[in-house]
Structure 1
Amino acid sequence: MTSPTLSVLDLVPVRTDQTTSDAVRASLDLARVADEVGAARYWVAEHHNMPAVAATNPPVLIGLLAAATSRIRVGSGGVMLPNHAPLVVAEQFSLLEAAFPGRIDLGIGRAPGTDPVTSYALRHGAGGVGDDAVSRFPEYVDNVAAMMAPEGVGVSVQGRTQSLRATPVAASVPTLWLLGSSDYSARLAAERGLPYVFAHHFSGQGTAEALALYREGFRPSEVLDAPRTFLTVNAAVAPTTEEAQRLALPHLQMMLALRTGQPLSAQRLVEEAEEVGIPEQQQPLVEAMSRRWVIGDPETARARIAELAAEHGVDEVMVHPVASAYAGTDPATSPAREQTLRLLAS
């Protein structure tokens, strides 16, 4: 089986032994490893008000990550567009593209990326339009794309039309991707002729159906003449499967809390997670989740990623390194996440 191209998704996890500063420094090092081992792209997600996730502002992180690397494409996986004014997103990513030409991806989603209260604060705190932004998602996608283009877009206000551009003299534009965990964005991406990614790492179900909808409904556009997609997957890789399972346990516990409505906390260290364990009644749910992840020794993990790529008909797999750390690890580092990338790429 052909080995697919590897990419990286990072939520900038925050462990119990880390400050936000530590977590960001660890992610910068992880991005350098991804650049070094030949990964195609490095994306950061947008999440808000979560104790275990520091990826609250993709454009800021992308600027830091692009400056810390030399070759790899850097982007968002994704920006939750209803949280923001389209012009702001267009300006942010056009400026990033101007600073790092040919290296910026703009992945866009329509989920809030947070709890309902925080979502309300994001969308209304600065006079936003709230739920109306969700219903206008297709329009906002079109607006962002048009504003980033060199010719800009004509905007009419009170009978007067004015040209609006994200940057004054754009020489190139970021690659625009639509992201989703349901069939909504699959259909929209197909209709608009845009690249599309299904959140397999989060959902784990419905991937094949969403990709089939996208491929079957795809309409060629000026941006893309054929469907373009890849697969995302959670991964923890170590010299032995037993060690990989230990390193993955803290993230499994965090996802269990998310799925069952429990309070979220910073990601546990391995020893802390082992002390807590998994309640017997929730063991089947954890086992079902872990079967959809890539957890194991290098040979097993590489084979599983190749199988997933072949199963879903993709030639690129975006790995979300979920390995935590042992007690005593330097808080500003994430050696087990780096190990996952190095072992998969070797």
Structure 2
Amino acid sequence: MRLSVLDLVPVRTDQTSSDAVAATVALAQAADRAGFTRYWVAEHHNMPAVAATSPPVLIAMLAAQTEHIRLGSGGVMLPNHAPLAVAEQFALLEAATPGRIDLGIGRAPGSDPVTSMALRGPAGRDDTDVENFPQYLDDVVALMSANGVRVAIPRQNYILKATPAAASVADLWLLGSSMYSARLAAAKGLPYVFAHHFSGHGTAEALATYRSEFTPSDVASEPTTFLTVNAVVADSDAEATALMLPNLQLMARLRTGQPLTALDLVEDAEDVDMAPQVQAMVDSGLSRAVVGTPQRAAQQVRNLAEQFGVDEVMVNPVAAARRGADARSSVARERTIELLAHELL
């Protein structure tokens, strides 16, 4: 069993962005010490509860403060960026820390339409960027390769590379939560990760399709995959459930179109009078998560790995904090990964 971490860099109501980033550094260092395989940071924009807006910036920061763990994006939302910019960023990260960088790429914008438009800038990029996603994906792969991309211009072929003398290439992963991403990853022969922590539905079908339709490539000779899951581990089931409640309520607000806020503290979440629709979403999220005592949570991870035929599980430690906690740390999140590591690694 391999364990990895997904981090959205959550911002609690008692934290500034600076506090949230400091807590992420501490969490990554804890994962590094505990023997986790990889640590991925997400890309979201203009969200009060999420400070992970720039994966390459965060990865560079974490690479300087960890020793062994692989670092990557979960993921870079490619329609927001020029393929060359992404290729250059991750080629440079790989050059600085060879063998430790993963480039996870996604198709979703990770933001609202207004923010997406602002990200794409004055060049006039639009929704065709989503339609062109497969080509952009090919461009990133080629630009990071030793040979680069041959661009045909009048009277010459121009060679374009992400870095001038790449000795190694970041591992590329395609991320998704739909059949589209599963089929695209299979067709292009790419490693694939299903966002089970976000969707929770269609995981088995997507992974089965990916495996059955996989075409070997220079990137991967056989289907390579794992999945993600939300997790909170504590000394008791009741405490684990309480620590997960703020995140579950936040996701329910997101899915019902309510105004978003920073992540509540546990005591504030417990005081919320949830409407039946929100309560149903909270209950559904709880049923799909890894939550409970160390022994119970470890068995849930083993069951997930067996159910979906994977030997690596990436946990998104979503434990909130109680009032009075140190704003520059996330003790419950650190404890979640440490307790899981003790049982599984």
TM-score bracket, normalised by the shorter chain, equals over 0.9
Report the 3-state secondary structure (helix = DSSP H, G, I; strand = E; otherwise coil) of the residue aligned with 2:22: helix
Partner of 1:134: 130
Q: Which whole-Å CA distance do the structure 1 matches of 2:277 and 2:215 have between them? A: 47
Q: Which whole-Å CA distance do the structure 1 matches of 2:240 and 2:158 have between them? A: 57
Given the alignment, which residue of 72, 77, 101 partners 1:75?
72
Aligned AA (1:240): S
1:110 lines up with 2:136 in the alignment: no
Partner of 2:217: 221
Partner of 1:29: 26
Partner of 1:289: 285
Percent sequence identity over matched residues? 64
TM-score by length of 2: 0.97
Q: Which whole-Å CA distance do the structure 2 matches of 1:315 and 1:65 have between them? A: 25
Report the 3-state secondary structure (helix = DSSP H, G, I; strand = E; otherwise coil) of the residue aligned with 1:271: helix
Q: Which whole-Å CA distance do the structure 1 matches of 2:38 and 2:282 have between them? A: 29
Q: Contact 2:11 / 2:20 at 8 angstroms: preserved in 1?
A: yes
Report the 3-state secondary structure (helix = DSSP H, G, I; strand = E; otherwise coil) of the residue aligned with 2:74: strand
1:155 lines up with 2:119 in the alignment: no
Partner of 1:264: 260
Partner of 2:300: 304
1:143 lines up with 2:115 in the alignment: no
- State how many pairs are aligned: 342
Report the 3-state secondary structure (helix = DSSP H, G, I; strand = E; otherwise coil) of the residue aligned with 1:68: coil
Report the 3-state secondary structure (helix = DSSP H, G, I; strand = E; otherwise coil) of the residue aligned with 1:235: strand
Q: Deviation per CA, 1:296-323: give whole Å up to 9, x if none.
A: 1100000000000000000000000000
Q: Which whole-Å CA distance do the structure 1 matches of 2:97 and 2:259 have between them? A: 39
Given the alignment, which residue of 33, 41, 45 partners 1:44?
41
Report the 3-state secondary structure (helix = DSSP H, G, I; strand = E; otherwise coil) of the residue aligned with 1:29: helix
1:234 lines up with 2:230 in the alignment: yes
Q: Deviation per CA, 1:8-35: give whole Å up to 9, x if none.
A: 0000000000000000000000000000
Rate the CA distance shift 1:330–1:110 in 2: closer, same or farther, 3 A: same
Residue 37 of structure 1: how far off its partner (Å): 0.4
1:18 lines up with 2:15 in the alignment: yes
TM-score by length of 1: 0.97
Given the alignment, which residue of 93, 96, 99 partners 2:96?
99
1:341 lines up with 2:337 in the alignment: yes
Partner of 1:167: 163
Aligned AA (1:258): L
Q: Which whole-Å CA distance do the structure 2 matches of 1:158 and 1:111 have between them? A: 36
CA RMSD of aligned residues (A): 1.0
Residue 158 of structure 1: how far off its partner (Å): 4.5
Compare 150-159 and 319-328 and name the one that shifted more: 150-159
Rate the CA distance shift 1:258–1:158 in 2: closer, same or farther, 3 A: farther
Q: Which whole-Å CA distance do the structure 2 matches of 1:282 and 1:130 have between them? A: 34
Residue 107 of structure 1: how far off its partner (Å): 0.3
Compare 280-289 and 205-214 and name the one that shifted more: 280-289
Aligned AA (1:185): S
Residue 212 of structure 1: how far off its partner (Å): 0.8
Report the 3-state secondary structure (helix = DSSP H, G, I; strand = E; otherwise coil) of the residue aligned with 1:276: coil
Q: Which whole-Å CA distance do the structure 1 matches of 2:203 and 2:129 have between them? A: 26
Q: Contact 2:245 / 2:282 at 8 angstroms: preserved in 1?
A: no
Partner of 1:66: 63
Q: Which whole-Å CA distance do the structure 2 matches of 1:167 and 1:126 have between them? A: 26
Q: Deviation per CA, 1:175-196: give whole Å up to 9, x if none.
A: 0000011111111110111100
Residue 281 of structure 1: how far off its partner (Å): 4.4
Q: Which whole-Å CA distance do the structure 1 matches of 2:168 and 2:122 have between them? A: 30
Partner of 1:6: 3
Q: Contact 2:226 / 2:312 at 8 angstroms: preserved in 1?
A: yes
Given the alignment, which residue of 196, 206, 211 partners 1:210?
206
Q: Contact 2:249 / 2:278 at 8 angstroms: preserved in 1?
A: no
Residue 130 of structure 1: how far off its partner (Å): 1.4
Residue 250 of structure 1: how far off its partner (Å): 0.5
Aligned AA (1:17): D
Q: Which whole-Å CA distance do the structure 1 matches of 2:20 and 2:157 have between them? A: 46
1:56 lines up with 2:49 in the alignment: no
Report the 3-state secondary structure (helix = DSSP H, G, I; strand = E; otherwise coil) of the residue aligned with 2:114: helix
Q: Which whole-Å CA distance do the structure 1 matches of 2:319 and 2:273 have between them? A: 16
Q: Contact 2:46 / 2:115 at 8 angstroms: preserved in 1?
A: yes
Rate the CA distance shift 1:326–1:110 in 2: closer, same or farther, 3 A: same
Gaps of 5+ in 2: none
Q: Contact 2:143 / 2:161 at 8 angstroms: preserved in 1?
A: yes
Aligned AA (1:31): A
